[in-house]
Structure 1
Amino acid sequence: MRPLIGIPCHAGVGAESDRPIFYNNIAYIRAVEAAGGVPILIPILDDLAGLQTLLPRLDGLLLSGGIDLHPRHYNEEPHPMLGKTNPQLDDLELELVRWVVRENLPTIGICRGMQMLNVALGGSLYQDLEAQYPQSLKHPNWELPRNQIVHRINVQEESRMATILGKYDLGVNSLHHQAVKEPGSGVIISGRAEDGVAELLEIPDHRFMLAAQCHPEEIWNDEPAWKNLFGAFIEECSQPVVKQLHAMDTVLEVSARTA
């Protein structure tokens, strides 16, 4: 049976109806589907206790790109260049990360999703790269097509990412203005851009928890390495769940108390 992959929604307004909606980009859906998974969108619930009905049915989680995380989750005040945030979305995704850590569920993070994994495990972010990391490349290329390759990343040899991607150097698109600053507990930065900005992340203690700062869902059709990433994710989601408790649980508990 094909694995069921949860993807959190974002909140917005319908362009034609002007009504509140929950949504996500179709590219995530297609990437999961093409790799052999069955995607299901998770709405932003008013009562997160409702997740207890849904989450046991999931075989994996994909944390997608989106708006900024509020810096209160890593004990910082908002920077003037901080973008739009949504407290309910933050709370939903933090709860989802707590779940996948406890249940040892395969997880992949993309852009904001990479940042969320890092923050949930006690790490921090650059709230705006241009302002706080002035030697950085131009990472927010929102005016370009989403599948346009704009810079290259170096993948750490002997990392799980290198094994899956099959490359130590590859081109990426770039659509972010925030990035990992201090890695969280158990977090390994397994790929960086030429300017040193974190581009790949993995948590070796977890069964499968990997993340990319770029948007592989937009370029997997053109770059086999990213197709390998989605394929490895879905393959792992197809395996029986093996519960595993480890030190990350303590980090998540601390994060929950300070949020």
Structure 2
Amino acid sequence: MIELQAVGFGWPDSRETLADISLALQPGEKTVLLGANGSGKSTLLKLLNGLVVPSHGSYHYHGHPIDKASMADRQWLRRFRQEVVLLFQHPEAMLFNPTVRDEIAYGPRRLGWDDIDERVAWWADQLGLRTLLDKPPFTLSGGQKQKVALASILILEPKVILMDEPSASLDPRSVGWLVDFLLDTAATVVVSTHNLSMAAEFGSRCLVLGENGRLAYDGPIGPAMRDMELLERCNLAHRHRHRHAGGEHSHLHGHEWESS
């Protein structure tokens, strides 16, 4: 469904953010993306969403190249934007309509769908937004904004769901709903997270980006979570000293996750 071959990307006037990324994602696969701050997680998600294109290497979606030419093809782009969606880490970047109702309905209206009001009401109920439908999004709390942004992409019934730190602003009940939804959906899912204790809830496959923008690991999530050397090398775990009864020793600790 998605294939990257030796993909690299660098922002203007900066070092290469992603380097030599090769991977394939199958339909319905659930994948967790891990990496320290600055490792390129958000950039990789934006690249998969077609917001940026590779500086070198290739990206194909269902065999179709994702490059500047395809992104300039309005008919192709319309289809791609419906099928491949991205939940930004900061929902403010996604919200621009006067009301929550308009925000959730924006995509279906652009696509000319019928029964939009019913679709909006259903997703508002799913995410506890019914009483907020006529409020301006900028007046909402961070968690409420996150749920509005989530409803605005899920209403499109996408085939690929990309999420950048989706649980960061959500309350525990909403996180539980999201985990259940992602387990049940037929869509391909890629979720980035800093919360290693939640990582296994989001998928069975794990991608770990090293600080050099290269893939340090691609495989089952269980072994990755138990490989403290890998986590330390990718700045997802750290060592610090403890003092006990006059003695001192060091332990390796995972960030947001501890091995059992």
Q: In proportion to residue count, which structure has more helix?
A: 2
TM over 0.5: no
Q: In proportion to residue count, which structure has more strand?
A: 2
For normalisation by structure 1, the TM-score amounts to 0.28
